[in-house]
Amino acid sequence: MQDRYHVPVLGREISKYLVKNPHGVYLDGTLGGGGHAELLLNSLESDAHYIGIDRDAEAIEFARKRLSAFQNITFFQGTFTQMREAVRRAGFETVDAILLDLGVSSHQIDLDSRGFAFRPGVRLDMRMDREETLTAAEILNSYDEKDLRRIFRQFGEERHAGRIARRVAAERQKQPIEFSDQLMRIIDACVDSRFATKSYARIFQALRIEVNRELNELKNALSIALELLVGGGRLAVISYHSLEDREVKNFFKHQENPCTCPPELPYCVCGKKPLLKRIKPFLIRPGRDEIEQNPRARSAKLRIGEKI
């Protein structure tokens, strides 16, 4: 049952690099089904504390059952931009380590009612928090063509964004676009059949990011995480597509070298000091064995930084 919900990606690496203080406070901003939490809690002492956050009520419920043997965990339903509130509610002000696994859980992908997958007959939902109101279908049926083109290009990096946006605008005049196969047929009409599957993935990704405001949430969460960490505390982020990874990589690089002085100056005069150092190797990918056991791990990228 547990494995069917979500297989934790890069579990060995997370345990190796994140656990410096086995008696500390650990925050999981994307709890999911509790896979990483279980691995980390088994690496921690009983006087450590684990704070698990997820915006999905179903994930929280599942994780509660999975982690019922552990007494040193606090659950919090919300987004990872609410980390400060979650930490304070658990009785702390700072934490020793933070994990953000940015992937959609296997459970959410496999469950047609959640609307993340491009399988025929799946209603276009894509909300991670089902109490939110904006769905992928509403975006497709209410956003103007210009905004659709922007979303497809910016969040999906789809080269045929304009063509697909025009087709969406035309087709929704005939009937509302509510199911995945309707959207797939629109994409089929706009791209070469050899590349259709990749375009499905890009357009569905773009809609999911817009529905859940993922990139804005990530940008804010990275800054909040750095504030919450103690000196020497570590932040680990697992991303799954280039937009997320670029945001994480640039944040880590900027915090490591925040100087804004012109390069021709012989020394720094801006006074900005590094707040974080990147942990080598700078990019960690799943090994061949892990990918064979869990093919969905193949796009995962792990970056880790330590607060100075």
Binding region for S-adenosyl-L-methionine:
34-36, 54, 80, 101, 108
Paired sense of beta strands 301-307 and 276-278, if any? antiparallel
Q: What is the dihedral of CA 261, 265, 267, 271, to 10 degrees?
A: -20
Residues in the annotated binding site: 34-36, 54, 80, 101, 108
Q: For the residues of 52-99, what is the DSSP string, one character each?
A: EEES-HHHHHHHHHHTTT-SSEEEEES-GGGHHHHHHHTT-S-EEEEE
Q: How far is CA 272 from CA 220, 225, 306, in A?
A: 20, 19, 17
Question: CB of 28 within 8 A of CB of 53?
Answer: yes
Secondary structure, 3-state, 216-272: HHHHHHHHHHHHHEEEEEEEEEEECCHHHHHHHHHHHHHHHCCCCCCCCCCCCCCCC
Q: How far is CA 181 from CA 127, 128, 211, 256, in A?
A: 18, 21, 19, 45
Q: Facing residues of 73 across strands?
A: 50
Name the CA radius of gyration of the chain, rounded: 21
Measured at the alpha carbon of residue 73, what is the angle toward residues 102 and 87, in degrees to the nearest 5?
70
